[in-house]
Amino acid sequence: MITYNGKGVYSAVAIGRISIYKRQDATVARIEITDKEAELKRVEEAKAKATEQLQAIYDKALKEVGEENAAIFEVHMMMLEDDDYNESIRNIIETQSVNAEYAVSITADNFAEMFAGMEDSYFQARAADIRDISNRLIACLTDSGTDSELGAEKVIICADDLAPSETVSLDKEKVLAFVTAFGSSNSHTAILARNMNIPAIIGVGEEFLNSVKDGDFAIVDGFTGEVFVDPDEETLAKLTKKREEDVAKKKLLQDLKGKENVTLDGTKIDIFANIGSVDNIGAVLMNDAGGIGLFRSEFLYLENDDYPTEEQQFQAYKKVLESMAGKKVIIRTLDIGADKQVDYFHLDKEENPAMGIRAIRICLTRQDIFRTQLRALYRASVYGHLGIMFPMITSVSEVKKIMEICDSVRADLKVEDIPFSDSVEHGIMIETPAAAVISDQLAPLVNFFSVGTNDLTQYTLACDRQNPKIEQFVDTHHEAILRLIKMAAENAHKYGAWIGICGELGADTTLTETFLRIGIDELSVSPTFVLKVRDAVRKIDLRKE
Ligand code: PEP
Ligand code: MG
């Protein structure tokens, strides 16, 4: 038995035979040509063909993994039309008098290298997309296929890396797992694998591909990121059991879809989902969350290289609200600073950024940014049930100032005759000890509290959440944290506000009963934990001491 280690991107176990993904040889010869016009015409024809293929892949993805995930193939179609990309191909053909395949391949190398060299992991992952569309274009130019045919048996697909279009083109019914030598967990391939519910491991290294061959028997453990080739009996028995337990557990969770979040004694709680991007809505709906308890809006700022406009933000918020069809959506205003730095904000370098100018402190000092976001939020509010939530609150005066700004933004909209909903809820995050301690003074000012246990833990225990060395000192169940949550819950209810938990602790099912006893009204967890928490809630009986 040989064990290889990579990174699991979808937690499940697969046992079966390996099939090495076969791809057309992408090496392209440089051939000098005389008729440049004819070569340019070939590129145009190949582009039309590639677009047709991508449209078919998009339609397949739409059915299998939903609109949000299929969108990457629309992006691919757009990339094929990109001016810079096309100009580069044209220039190479015209200035070097070379064949179209060669011009595409050099352009692909240049663009992929440029993306790979970017600091942002999102853009790094786009290098794979450039290679994907370029390989397709070259295949169309040479009239060869790109998609691998699979036999009748279900197999573990192994490859150096898989492009998104390759992942989706594979017949899902015949794939047990994906294992790639390279790849990033941010890549669309990883995202697609997760959405296809197929165990997947990336980054097992080149050595793996050099050693395995078609037909080798292997086990893929997506939980640990391990691949066991030619497993011994003990490992086989252990992993077979693990797979059976996992399948049974997932089935049980699926059975929980559509069921209420209610304890044995009849106490109900809302279970909502946390999202960081509009793209996550598919997962929210698939996991049957009752709403969105935390939409970290800063992704709009992190993804852009300039301040997102009111219109861009409005479109994103509207989409989330419309997709949730009247279910509650809590959007948090931007939480930039600390670990989330954005160049164009030009924030000063700080000794302790977690305790510096971040989140609401930026909004209150740079109100133009804040007002733009608020205008977009109120404008979007007519498309659903919106809650606006403010992060990093420490004082009553901050909340009063925020509410004044909100009033003034709504007054402006009224003057401009722009509609907004009258039933927008306003809430604050309880993520500093100060906010919890003065929660009796804060509760009358808002409709809800949401406890950010990630920051509340770091500030209460004086443990930097970014510092892995300090983990041994982080007791997430520390009595101080639980007392602060309890205090906030009592004060919220005293003044008619509701209280949720949106930090990671909300998904800790060893505390679900405690939270119910404290009177927490809502738990907002990552979409994949919604059913797990529902399962825990339904087993609790608060009548028992
Ligand atoms: C928190 O602090 O618990 C929280 C939910 O916010 P974030 O993790 O985005 O800081
Ligand atoms: Mg926080």
Residue 450's pLDDT band (boundaries 50, 70, 90)?
very high
> Which range among 13-27, 291-305, 514-528 shows the weakest confidence by mean pLDDT?
13-27
> Is 296 near ligand 1, meaning CB less than 6 Å away?
yes
Question: Which listed residue (188, 363, 385, 406) is catalytic?
Answer: 188
Residue 469 CA to ligand 2 centre (angstroms)? 20
Please state whether beta strands 7-10 and 200-202 pair in parallel, antiparallel, or not at all (unpaired). antiparallel
Structural domain total, the chain: 3
Residues 136 and 155 in one domain: no
Query: In terms of residue numbers, what domain contains 308?
Result: 271-537
Do residues 371 and 451 share a domain?
Answer: yes
Last-in-domain residue among 121, 142, 163: 142
Q: Which residues of 56-78 are buried (b: 16+ CB within 10 A; e: fewer)?
A: ebbebbbeebbebbbbbbeebbe
The answer on 96 and 241 residing in a single domain is no
CATH number of the structural domain spanning residue 50:
1.10.274.10
pLDDT of residue 544: 86
Report how far residue 442's alpha carbon sits from residue 440's, in angstroms, rounded to the nearest whole number. Answer: 6
Ligand lying closest to the C-alpha of residue 501: 1
The answer to the question of residue 84 being in a domain is yes
CA of 103 to the centre of ligand 1 (A): 47
Q: Are 148 and 172 in contact (CB under 8 A)?
A: no
Based on the domain organization, do 347 and 459 belong to the same domain? yes
pLDDT band at 275 (very low <50, low <70, confident <90, very high): very high
Question: What's the pTM value of the predicted model, to 2 decimals?
Answer: 0.64
Question: Stretch 26-30: mean pLDDT, rounded?
Answer: 80
**What is the CA(7)–ligand 1 centre distance, in A?**
25
**Ligand 1: does its nearest atom lie under 6 Å from the Cβ of 500?**
no
Atom 1 of ligand 1: nearest residue by CA position: 452
Distance 178 CA to ligand 1 centre (A): 32
| Minimum-distance ligand 1 atom for the alpha carbon of 296 | 9
Say if 262 falls within a structural domain: no
Pair 69, 173 in one domain: no
Whether residue 68 has its Cβ less than 6 Å from ligand 1 = no
Active site residue 426: no
Residue nearest to atom 4 of ligand 1 (CA): 452
Q: Is the per-residue pLDDT at 380 higher than 60?
A: yes
At residue 398, does pLDDT exceed 70?
yes
Atom of ligand 1 nearest to the CA of 274: 5
Q: Please tell me if the CB atom of residue 502 comes closer than 6 angstroms to any atom of ligand 1.
A: yes
Residue nearest to atom 6 of ligand 1 (CA): 452
Domain co-membership, 138 together with 153 = no
199 Cβ inside 6 Å of ligand 1? no
Give yes or no for residue 465 CB within 6 A of ligand 1: no
Query: Between residues 62 and 519, which one has the greater pLDDT?
Result: 519
Which bound ligand lies closest to the C-alpha atom of 500? 1
3-state secondary structure 274-302: EECCHHHHHHHHHCCCCCEEEEECCHHHH
Q: Specify whether 502 is catalytic.
A: yes
Residue 263 lies in a domain: no
Q: Note whether residue 28 is domain-resident.
A: no
Query: 461, 24, 8, 507: which is closest to 224 by C-alpha?
Result: 8
Cβ of residue 126 lying under 6 Å from some atom of ligand 1: no
- The answer to whether the CB of 298 is under 6 A from ligand 1 is no
Cβ of 452 closer than 6 Å to ligand 1, yes or no, is yes
Range 319-338 average pLDDT: 94
pLDDT digits (tens, 9 = 90+) for 181-216: 987 665 666 777 776 778 999 989 999 999 999 999
Which ligand 1 atom sits nearest the alpha carbon of residue 450? 5
How close is the Cα of 437 to the center of ligand 2, in Å?
17
Per the domain annotation, does 368 fall within a domain? yes
- Binding site membership of 222 for ligand 1 (Cβ less than 6 Å): no
pLDDT confidence bin for 33, thresholds 50/70/90: very high
On average, the pLDDT of the chain sits at: 91
What's the rounded mean pLDDT across residues 330-334? 98
Which of 113, 142, 171 marks a domain boundary?
142
Mean pLDDT of 378-392: 97
* Whole-number Å distance between alpha carbons of 374 and 390: 11
**Structure-block tokens of residue 6:** 């990579």
Instruction: Give the closest ligand to the alpha carbon of residue 454.
Output: 1
CATH at 9 = 3.50.30.10
Query: In this structure, what DSSP letter does residue 32 have?
Result: B
Last residue of a domain, one of 82, 109, 142: 142
Same domain, 153 and 120: no
Residues 440 and 478 grouped into a single domain:
yes
Same domain for 201 and 132? Answer: no
The pLDDT assigned to 304 comes to 84
Say yes or no: CB of residue 431 within 6 Å of ligand 1: yes
CATH of the domain at 295: 3.20.20.60
The CB of 125 under 6 Å from ligand 1? The reply is: no
In a domain, 265, yes or no: no
pLDDT of residue 299: 83
Residue 258 falls inside a structural domain: no
Q: Rounded to the nearest 10 degrees, how much is the dihedral formed by the CA atoms of 91, 95, 96, 97?
A: 90
Cβ(496)–Cβ(477) below 8 Å: no
**Top mean-pLDDT range of 43-57, 180-194, 373-387, 455-469:** 373-387
Question: What 8-state DSSP symbol labels residue 507?
Answer: G
What percent of the chain stands above pLDDT 90?
69
Residue 338 CA to ligand 2 centre (angstroms):
10
What distance in Å separates the CA atoms of residue 38 and residue 30, rounded to the nearest whole number? 16
Asked if 96 and 199 sit in the same domain, the reply is no
pLDDT digits (tens, 9 = 90+) for 130-160: 988 998 999 899 876 555 556 668 999 999 8
- Mean pLDDT score, 507-516: 97
- Span from the CA of 455 to the centroid of ligand 2 (angstroms): 5
Give 362's pLDDT tier (boundaries 50, 70, 90).
very high
Q: What string of H, E and C letters represents the secondary structure of 306-347?
A: CCCCHHHHHHHHHHHHHHCCCCEEEEECCCCECCECCHHHCC
Question: Ligand 1 center to residue 332 CA distance, Å?
Answer: 10
The answer on 297 and 155 residing in a single domain is no
Residue 152 has what pLDDT? 67
- The three-point CA angle 218-224-228 to 5° equals 20
- Which entry of 140, 363, 406, 502 is annotated as an active-site residue? 502
Q: What is the pLDDT of residue 228?
A: 97
**Residue of 378, 273, 282, 287 lying closest to 329 (CA atoms):** 273
Whether residues 126 and 216 fall in one domain: no
Residue 425 has pLDDT above 70, yes or no: yes
Answer whether residue 261 is part of any domain: no
Give pLDDT, residue 124. Answer: 79
Q: What is the pLDDT of residue 393?
A: 98
Nearest CA to ligand 1 atom 3: 452
- In this predicted model, which residue has the larger pLDDT, 516 or 193? 516
Of all atoms in ligand 1, which is nearest to the CA of residue 454?
3
Q: Which of 49-53, 62-66, 492-496, 508-512 comes out lowest in average pLDDT?
A: 62-66
Strand locations in 104-198 (E) = 155-159, 175-180
116 against 375, higher pLDDT = 375
Instruction: With a cut of 80, say whether residue 48 has pLDDT above it.
Output: yes
Mean pLDDT of 217-245: 95
CA distance 25 to 19: 17
- Residue 333 pLDDT > 80: yes
